[in-house]
Structure 1
Amino acid sequence: MKNILGKAILLATALLFSITGTSCSNDDNTTPEKEKTYDMSGFAKGADVSWITEMEQNGKKFYNANGKATECMALLRDLGMNSIRLRVWVNPEDGWNGKNDVVAKAWRAQQLGMRLMIDFHYSDTWADPGKQGVPAAWKNYDFDQMKQAVADHTKDVLNALKERDVNVEWVQVGNETTDGMLWNDEDGDAALKVTGRASKNMANFAAYINAGYDAVKAIYPEAKVIVHLDKGNNLGQYTWMFDGLKQNGAKWDVIGMSLYPDWITDQTWEQVSDDCLSNIKTLSGKYNCDVIISEIGMVWNSENAAPFLKKMVDGCKAISTCEGVFYWEPECNSGWNGYDKGAFDNSGKPTAALDAFK
């Protein structure tokens, strides 16, 4: 990783603030563009751009609607976004999404005045509803050691961010933990005593959540801790999980949701959206907490992408207990890593789906 030079500048003096920026031209004889003012407060309009440093190293470039090459996060800010989400892996094989990479990206976002969500996977690679692999270094840990590892890793990354004067507003303790995290599915009592798979040992999952929660508050006392599941349209999935967590003394501040209608085959995107918006209201009332859309997306060239995003962003804004919407990896184009739900076209320009964030 390249080291980013310079000391981070504190840009936020409170939760509500605005910043200004001036675009410069390479032609000294041209008139400077009008200074822009960005409102970074209120409803979070965000994007997970965790792939950005890897994409840049591979030569990917991003362009505004006029075809001008623009740094990706700055371009997203110009399109109305005010927040960035970044995933964290424990010991990734190639370094991407590890601590140093996350700090570098977070520092960049801070310089633009962007608010920040940190998403801990507690794995060396992808964690999602189908896989929650224990980091290799933690493989033989018992229950107490696993709790301590969660706390230590969380503090280590957050301390590194704080040392760069990076502010963190939200922290996910786990990623799409629809059936918990830190799974050990081997046979026998020893595995059952340590697994964080919720359907096998909800008490363990609650304990791991609390280890992460307490670690977050030790470093960033004002940060909001999120427990995040997929399929925001599936109410029963959420009530099963959060009833179980509540019964086992788990702590959280915000419920996080993912919503990808392309992966839900028995409903239209309109039905999926309506169910999700209804669930936000139901869950925030039932558990007395806010809800946030941590991930959202649709196939980039779908005719439904723009209306879907507009419906969801407008609908979430209208719900007082919804804190925001984060598009997952909108900068992806040309099928980057096989992912087709970005919001940039194959020429590197943003699609109409991002108009919803203006």
Structure 2
Amino acid sequence: MSYARQRSRLRARLTAFVLAAACLAGLAGPAGAATPHDQGHDRPGRPVADDGFAAGGDLTMLNWVEDSGGRYYDENGRRVDPVQLMAANGMDLARLRVYTATGPDHPRIGYPDSYLPEGYQDKADMLDLARRVTDNGMETQLTLHYSDYWSNGAIQDIPSEWRDVTDLPDDQAVAALEEHVRDYTREIMLDMRDQGTVPAYVSLGNEMQGGILFPYGTTTSEQGWENLARFLRAGYEAVKEVSPSTQVILHLDDAGNMDKYEWFFSTADAHGIPYDVIGASYYPFWTRKDIPTVCAFFEQLHERFGRKIMVMETGINWNQVTHDGVEGQLTDNGPVPYPETPQGQADFLTDLFRQLKEVDDGAVIGDIYWDPVMIPAPGVGWEVGQPNVVSNTTLFDFRGRALPALSAYRTA
């Protein structure tokens, strides 16, 4: 962290104490002082639900948004700490993603060829957020991308700091990557344990139906599967070594596609890949599935593989266009009867949480919303120099005011 950022955080922290005192005295209003992302908190959020279902959100972008000038308000326009507000409304699980490097000093090879700002979405940033959400009574779901930046089914680039393995024969490269995964995972888990924020769930990769650490750990060949099994076993063992109770997730996209999930998890089982929970991304726009259809899929998936299911990503539009007046990442809300309005978003989440909880045998243990906090802020986009394409799917409007969808968490 730069000296300037440390000084800024200290100044913000001192201001926050003033705000906290004012709040206790009933004096804080809409134009209250700044609420920094690393302050202490006066009120913990609601404890994690004891009904077996976690209603969560991905809060990875929060520090970047706040440091860039993003501000959050409750439904009455009063300045708030968004984590505190979300927790008070019933959000009890925070997804935090972490990359191996950020900033222009870590050039990427492959896609994307840009970068995140220095100091965001790396380990230190994640640990900072983990403290904050824990202080507010939330559990943490940690996603390890095992990449400098974004990874998904088609993009799983080896981190720049590990890339020297590509000069080795394949068998030596695989062995080296296996140890990198083990050491890196253990290091992060130990850091989280040391600060009292052990994650309840850890995902080994993000939407990793194609594998991880390309080209070695791909799911396109038998050798690739064998390599992938070594990588995932190393990650699993490192998590359990530090925290046996932490549940390990394997996360795929395209919830509702039984052929894909049958292929992936039956092949994973054949290779002895250990995992505890099946993770699935469900967006009505991407999957073209309504809620009853995807719930039937989750029931079938649970019956087939005997694992509980975490919905790792869910998103829907509350406005047809972003704050820039253009279509966002989701160009429509798919085949669901919920309009692209604030109330439509609220009704969707209310119905989704209720129906997920009704899946037989408590098969679905939670849902994590994407992206609740990425409101408009100067310079903030999906990477440096790129636009914010999800400002119309957040749980706060373009000015940072809480949307009606937050009420859905009260009944989740």
User: Scaled by the length of structure 1, what TM-score is found?
Assistant: 0.85
Q: Distance in 1 between matches of 2:136 and 2:45?
A: 12
Pick from 96, 115, 121: which aligns with 1:97? 121
1:273 aligns with 2:288: no
Query: Residue in 2 aligned with 1:339?
Result: 389
Query: Residue in 2 aligned with 1:318?
Result: 358
> Structure 1 residue 208: deviation in Å?
1.3
Query: Residue in 2 aligned with 1:51?
Result: 61
> Structure 1 residue 352: deviation in Å?
2.4
> Structure 1 residue 101: deviation in Å?
0.8
3-state secondary structure, aligned to 1:357: helix
Contact 1:203–1:245, Cα closer than 8 Å, also in 2: no
1:176 aligns with 2:176: no
Pick from 237, 242, 248: which aligns with 1:225? 248
> Structure 1 residue 281: deviation in Å?
1.1
Contact 2:44–2:137, Cα closer than 8 Å, also in 1: no
Query: Residue in 2 aligned with 1:11?
Result: none
Contact 1:110–1:167, Cα closer than 8 Å, also in 2: no
Contact 1:233–1:273, Cα closer than 8 Å, also in 2: no
Pick from 264, 272, 291: which aligns with 2:309? 291
3-state secondary structure, aligned to 1:140: helix
What is the 5 A alignment of 1:84-163?
Answer: 84-93=94-103, 94-141=118-165, 142-163=173-194
1:26 aligns with 2:22: yes
> Structure 1 residue 38: deviation in Å?
2.1
Q: Distance in 1 between matches of 2:246 and 2:192?
A: 13
Flag the 1:249–1:222 CA change in 2: closer, same or farther, 3 A.
same
Letter in 1 for 2:22: N
Q: Distance in 2 between matches of 1:29 and 1:223?
A: 40
Flag the 1:70–1:256 CA change in 2: closer, same or farther, 3 A.
same
Letter in 1 for 2:208: T
> Structure 1 residue 333: deviation in Å?
2.1
Query: Residue in 2 aligned with 1:354?
Result: 406
What is the 5 A alignment of 1:6-85?
Answer: 26=22, 30=26, 38-42=46-50, 43-85=53-95
Uncovered stretches (5+) of structure 1, i.e. residues with no partner: 6-22, 185-194
Aligned residues: 324
Flag the 1:311–1:143 CA change in 2: closer, same or farther, 3 A.
same
Q: Distance in 2 between matches of 1:311 and 1:324?
A: 14
Q: CA RMSD for the aligned pairs?
A: 2.3
Letter in 2 for 1:77: A
3-state secondary structure, aligned to 1:26: helix
1:330 aligns with 2:372: yes
Q: Among all aligned residue pairs of Structure 1 and Structure 2, give the percentage whose two residues are the same amino acid.
A: 27
Bigger shift: residues 324-333 or 218-227:
324-333
Letter in 2 for 1:110: T
What is the 5 A alignment of 1:197-212?
Answer: 197-200=218-221, 201-212=224-235
Cα-to-partner distance string for 1:125-154 (whole Å, 9 max, x where unaligned)? 001123111101222320011111111111
Cα-to-partner distance string for 1:250-305 (whole Å, 9 max, x where unaligned)? 000000011122234xx3xxx43223211211111111110011111112321342
3-state secondary structure, aligned to 2:214: coil
Q: Distance in 2 between matches of 1:85 and 1:111?
A: 15
Pick from 263, 268, 283: which aligns with 1:245? 268
> Structure 1 residue 307: deviation in Å?
2.8
Q: Distance in 2 between matches of 1:41 and 1:241?
A: 31
> Structure 1 residue 222: deviation in Å?
0.5
1:215 aligns with 2:224: no
Cα-to-partner distance string for 1:94-135 (whole Å, 9 max, x where unaligned)? 231111111111011111111111100000000112311110
Letter in 2 for 1:236: D
> Structure 1 residue 27: deviation in Å?
6.7
Q: Distance in 2 between matches of 1:89 and 1:160?
A: 15
Q: Distance in 1 between matches of 2:267 and 2:71?
A: 45
Letter in 1 for 2:231: Y
Q: Distance in 2 between matches of 1:99 and 1:259?
A: 27
Contact 2:139–2:200, Cα closer than 8 Å, also in 1: yes
Contact 1:116–1:170, Cα closer than 8 Å, also in 2: yes
User: Scaled by the length of structure 2, what TM-score is found?
Assistant: 0.74
Letter in 1 for 2:98: V
Bigger shift: residues 253-262 or 337-346:
337-346
Pick from 287, 294, 305: which aligns with 2:345? 305
Contact 1:300–1:344, Cα closer than 8 Å, also in 2: no
Q: Distance in 1 between matches of 2:191 and 2:133?
A: 15
Uncovered stretches (5+) of structure 2, i.e. residues with no partner: 11-18, 29-42, 104-117, 166-172, 320-339, 382-387
Letter in 2 for 1:52: L
> Structure 1 residue 313: deviation in Å?
0.9
Letter in 1 for 2:95: R
Flag the 1:332–1:30 CA change in 2: closer, same or farther, 3 A.
closer
3-state secondary structure, aligned to 1:152: helix
